[in-house]
Amino acid sequence: MNKILLLFISVISISASAQLQTPESFLDYEIGSQFSRHSDIVDYFEHVAENSDLVTFHNYGKTNERRPLTYAIVSTPENLANIETIRQNNLINAGLASGTANPEIAIVWLSYNVHGNEASGSESAMSTVYELITNKKEWLKNTVVIIDPCVNPDGRDRYANWYNQVASTPYDVKQVAAEHDEPWPGGRPNHYLFDLNRDWAWATQVESQQRLKIYNQWMPHIHVDFHEQGINEPYYFSPAAEPFHEIITDFQRDFQTEVGKNHAKYFDQEGWLFFTRERFDLLYPSYGDTYPTFMGSIGMTYEQAGHGRAGLGINTDEGYVLTLKDRAAHHTTTGLSTVEMGSKNAAKLNTEFKKFFENSNVKYKSYILTGNPDNIKALTELLDRHEIKYGFSNGGNVTGYSYTQNKNASMDATGALVVNATQPKGKMVKALFEPDAKLSTPLTYDITAWSIPYAYGLDAIASTTKVTANGSNPFVKEINQVYTGAAGYLVNWNSMSDASFLADLLKNDIKVRFSEKDLKFNGKDFAKGTLVITKSDNKTNEDFAATVTKLANNHERKLHASTTSFSDNGIDFGSPDVKLVNKQRIAMLRGEGVSSLSFGSLWHFFEQDLKYPVTNINIDSFNAATLKKFDILVLPDGRYRGQLNEKALNNIKDWVRNGGKVIAVAGAVRSFAGKDGFDLKTNNTKKRDDKKDDAKGNLTPYDQRESSRLKHMITGSIYKTTLDPSHPMAFGYGDTYYSLKIGGTSYKYLENGYNVGYIKGTPETVSGFSGEDAKAGLTDSMTFGEARVGSGSVIYFVDDVMFRSFWENGKLLFVNSLFFVNNNKFTL
């Protein structure tokens, strides 16, 4: 009987195995011969999970365009039967869950296609899972492999669908062919045109938010982010380039090298070129290699030649044809090699993983933050996404490094948010909160400053002493009662929460005013920018009180009801300085010449943060007639050049003179520099030392050119900026703002307009790298300004406050520009 049962089980097993298909058989084409749509990839992983007892397949969310976000868990049947215990033991080992455990299972996470047009990743994901469960089963005995086959489904399908529509048959390898000329905005970003590989730490996008929930449940020992680069660079894998963030351990450094050597063995066998230790560093915390690294993993980026230009095949500059088949094979090889190294070193990975989360020796043991409660709450929501613990102080003074004074100082910590770096995720806390990241070299792939207290506009102390954080949560949901006897309501103006409330009021046809003067009602002071919602402005709305109260409660805003319009300080509800907010009609340009990233961050801001309508206009359709339908024109960062030619600028100027308003961001500001009527001139900058003598030319040695350019660069630094808080653009702020500068572009003070934010005298950096010449060029420069043109305005954001949507403290400047600055009713 037992023999019969065993034979029956064996037959069933053989039958199931026989039903498992290769990617080629299932798709009906060879991997790399076509671009698979996202649905094809999902279908194949579902097929594998249905026909193999070594794979389970799961959904973890949906994209903005409703495509599924998925991951596979790959291991032996025995491990999968015990998978929850394996997962939990890993968290216990890191100190992230209670209990005792001595795990010896390695957890390896492979992430593919975070950039949609780096499309070989998802193709290789299918090959990798098949190889693991057919030819590499031995590795799975002590290893769990998590495969996210497509981090960015919307971007991938944007690219794949475009390519499949335009490609020749057979494919054309000439670089000039249409199939190698991807149109704006390209498949790289997600639906909102965000670069998801810069969003790990800030988690502004739904893909990141949903992925982090799963990532923090697993906390892998190894994480690989599969990418592509230019067609002429062969393949990059670890070890990474300098700078390494100082929290990275010696083991993490050394193990990257061992992984790289293992890859090199396979590449050398095949005669494939590669490079290591160049370009891709481990500093900025929001990448798919650094974020996992700062969470204890061996985080690595692999970069295959290809990208959106390569298509199915392309001639490189070196004269060979780079094919999608080759690209997928290379990624499959490094993916398998990574799993192999995880399996061979499973015990060591677990031992070192545990050590990583011991943080008793950090310099700053606590970060204590005070400031606007809405900004504090927004920060706690970010910490919650990363499952970083925090608490609130019961009171007393704390002493340490002051972010606002740039020296040691004391602060009253009553009710302050406290984030301790001695917790298991303390290294990530240090990376996010430290005043200034230590640099081994300023030659880095990304920005060098991002410190959270500056980004959220909070006063902060970094303390070398651990601060107790057992105070009560200060966030109490505001509940207003309907009061029909009010002449009006006053609402403080300090944060994006106030801004989204205003937007909701306008969308519900509630007329709202704001004050350009300080107010006082019923003995209470209200600062400039306060919203004033009067009964007299909303006489036709029978449900006025109930509607305002409901909206205020939805946004957790405190309504200050006043039974009279008569103020305590002489500025009444009907004062000319209490102005009606217009229900603005806003247009924004998109298309060639416009930065897709800048456009995307603004688009996301309007739809997801402010929740106020914006009309996106293709730049090719932009004309004078179009302008007349709107009150505001937003110009994202970009290189407009021919798009904003003399005729276009004259049309804009005429429209502005009649009451229109332009908001120009970063590179768009250049379009107005030196042009008649816009009050904008570039600043004189220090001459480049490497071009002192034009007769002799540039004598900088060839191998020093890159480093010699550093003195002219600003690689994402935070500058102390003076604000004019009396100007409507700065309502809700004090007289100091910390601005993130991405480059050294500098403009003179406006002669006739309003310099709302500016650097006076010698620039003061508080974090990040700035070359000496670039920094000197910012002396006496305008950062934010308003130029009056006739009845309208042109508003300049030299620094992009929406950059990657993580500089929370800058967003209100933009909202003020929409609704408060030169608040004239458009008359055309």
> For residue 18, what pLDDT is reported?
57
- Smallest Cα–Cα separation from 511: which of 527, 494, 497, 532? 532
Taking a C-beta distance cutoff of 8 angstroms, is the pair 302, 236 a contact?
Answer: yes
Q: Which residue has the higher pLDDT, 84 or 705?
A: 84
Q: What is the mean pLDDT of residues 179-191?
A: 98
Give me the residue label for tokens 């026909």: 51
Q: Is 287 left (phi over 0), alpha (psi -120 to 50) or beta?
A: beta
591 vs 186: CA distance, rounded Å: 11
Asked if the model's pLDDT at residue 121 lies above 60, the reply is yes
Q: Half-sphere exposure of residue 692, counting CA atoms within 13 Å on the CB side?
A: 4
Q: What is the mean pLDDT of residues 159-167?
A: 97
**If you average pLDDT over every residue of the chain, what do you get?**
94
Tokens (6 digits) for 329: 């094979």
502 vs 166: CA distance, rounded Å: 45
Confidence of residue 708 (pLDDT cuts 50, 70, 90): confident
Q: What is the pLDDT of residues 376-423, one digit of tens each?
A: 999 999 999 999 999 999 989 999 999 999 999 999 999 999 999 999
Q: In 346-374, which positions are buried (b, 16+ CB within 10 angstroms) versus exposed (e)?
A: beebbebbbebbebeebebbbbbbbbbbb
Taking a C-beta distance cutoff of 8 angstroms, is the pair 79, 86 a contact?
Answer: yes
822 vs 792: CA distance, rounded Å: 7
SS3 357: coil
Asked if the model's pLDDT at residue 690 lies above 50, the reply is no
235 vs 329: CA distance, rounded Å: 12
Give me the residue label for tokens 């990376």: 431
SS3 709: helix
Contacts of 491 (CB under 8 A, 6+ apart): 498, 501, 530, 531, 533, 552, 557, 558, 559, 560
348 vs 342: CA distance, rounded Å: 9
ω into 185 cis (within 30 of 0): yes
> For residue 10, what pLDDT is reported?
45
309 vs 316: CA distance, rounded Å: 10
Contacts of 29 (CB under 8 A, 6+ apart): none
Confidence of residue 63 (pLDDT cuts 50, 70, 90): very high
Tokens (6 digits) for 518: 């300080």
Q: What is the mean pLDDT of residues 466-480?
A: 87
- Tell me the pTM: 0.95
Percentages helix, strand, coil for the chain (3-state, rounded to 5) are 35, 20, 45
Confidence of residue 685 (pLDDT cuts 50, 70, 90): low
Q: Where are the beta strands (DSSP E) in 354-487?
A: 366-370, 391-392, 397-402, 407-412, 417-420, 459-463
> For residue 433, what pLDDT is reported?
98
* Residue 781 β-bridge partners: 759
> For residue 823, what pLDDT is reported?
85
Percent of the chain residues past pLDDT 90, beyond the cut: 91
Q: Which helix (H) or strand (E) holds 285?
A: none
Asked if the model's pLDDT at residue 692 lies above 90, the reply is no
Q: What's 747's DSSP letter?
A: B
Q: What is the pLDDT of residues 494-549, one digit of tens each?
A: 999 999 999 999 999 999 999 999 999 999 999 999 999 999 999 999 999 999 99
> For residue 700, what pLDDT is reported?
81
Confidence of residue 7 (pLDDT cuts 50, 70, 90): very low
Q: What is the mean pLDDT of residues 790-797?
A: 97
804 vs 284: CA distance, rounded Å: 13
> For residue 442, what pLDDT is reported?
87
Q: Which helix (H) or strand (E) holds 127?
A: helix 120-134
Asked if the model's pLDDT at residue 3 lies above 70, the reply is no
Q: Where are the beta strands (DSSP E) in 608-686?
A: 615-618, 632-635, 661-665
How many residues in the chain?
828
> For residue 106, what pLDDT is reported?
98
639 vs 625: CA distance, rounded Å: 23
Confidence of residue 75 (pLDDT cuts 50, 70, 90): very high
Long-range interactions of 548-551: CB distance < 8 A, separation 24+: 548/489, 548/505, 548/510, 549/480, 549/481, 549/482, 549/483, 551/501, 551/504, 551/505, 551/508, 551/510
SS3 587: strand
Q: What is the pLDDT of residues 211-263, one digit of tens each?
A: 999 999 999 999 999 999 999 999 999 999 999 999 999 999 999 999 999 99
Confidence of residue 14 (pLDDT cuts 50, 70, 90): very low
Asked if the model's pLDDT at residue 342 lies above 60, the reply is yes
Contacts of 124 (CB under 8 A, 6+ apart): 31, 112, 226, 327, 328, 329, 330, 331, 332, 335
> For residue 371, what pLDDT is reported?
97
Asked if the model's pLDDT at residue 296 lies above 50, the reply is yes
29 vs 26: CA distance, rounded Å: 8
Give the dihedral sign, CA 595/598/599/600.
positive
Confidence of residue 17 (pLDDT cuts 50, 70, 90): low
Taking a C-beta distance cutoff of 8 angstroms, is the pair 490, 502 a contact?
Answer: no
Tokens (6 digits) for 10: 């064996």
Confidence of residue 825 (pLDDT cuts 50, 70, 90): low
Q: What is the pLDDT of residues 729-777, one digit of tens each?
A: 999 999 999 999 999 999 999 999 999 999 999 999 999 999 999 999 9
- Smallest Cα–Cα separation from 191: which of 67, 307, 286, 288? 67
> For residue 477, what pLDDT is reported?
84
Percent of the chain residues past pLDDT 70, beyond the cut: 96
Asked if the model's pLDDT at residue 620 lies above 60, the reply is yes
